């Protein structure tokens, strides 16, 4: 099953700022949309931030993609980043991409 994608303004801005990684990020996005539960990490609290309901995927050693799966984040009452209103359950919302520390701080 393939999921549909949605992108936050933050994700688009950070993606465009990483031209040397865009091709690799695109491949990771495709993998996530095919099976968002495979090879991703379910997040809780990272560096003092509540990321419950979010997931991360590695892009190389130091970069992460942070995203939510609508069917999963709707079930997490503490999810602060569920932007799934009006979207089908089979939607992945990409929240941010960037260096490890900044990505987890949602900057």
Taking only the tens place, the pLDDT of each residue in 1-52 is 799 999 999 999 999 999 999 999 999 999 999 999 999 999 988 667 888 8
What pLDDT is recorded for position 44?
86
Mean pLDDT of all residues in the chain? 92
Neighbours of 9 (CB within 10 A): 7
pLDDT in tens, 55-75: 999 998 899 999 999 999 899
Task: Report how many domains make up the chain.
Answer: 1
- What is the residue range of 87's domain? 4-104
What is the pLDDT at residue 107? 64
43: tokens are 């997040």
The band of 91, judged by pLDDT with boundaries at 50, 70 and 90, is: very high
pLDDT at 6: 97
Left (φ > 0), alpha (ψ -120 to 50) or beta: where does 100 sit?
A: alpha
CA distances to 1, 28, 61, 73, 89 from 8, rounded to whole Å, are 23, 17, 23, 16, 17
**CATH code for the domain of 57:** 3.30.2310.20
95, 51 contact by CB (below 8 A): no
């Amino acid at each position: 099953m393939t999921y549909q994608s949605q992108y936050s303004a933050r994700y688009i801005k950070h993606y465009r700022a990483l031209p040397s990684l865009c091709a690799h990020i695109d491949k990771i996005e495709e993998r996530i949309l095919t099976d968002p539960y495979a090879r991703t990490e379910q997040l809780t609290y990272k560096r003092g931030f509540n990321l419950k309901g979010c997931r991360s995927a590695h892009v190389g050693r130091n970069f992460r993609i942070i995203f939510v799966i609508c069917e999963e984040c709707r079930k997490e009452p503490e999810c602060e980043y569920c932007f799934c209103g009006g979207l089908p359950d089979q939607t992945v919302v990409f929240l941010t991409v960037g260096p490890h520390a900044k990505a987890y701080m949602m900057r």
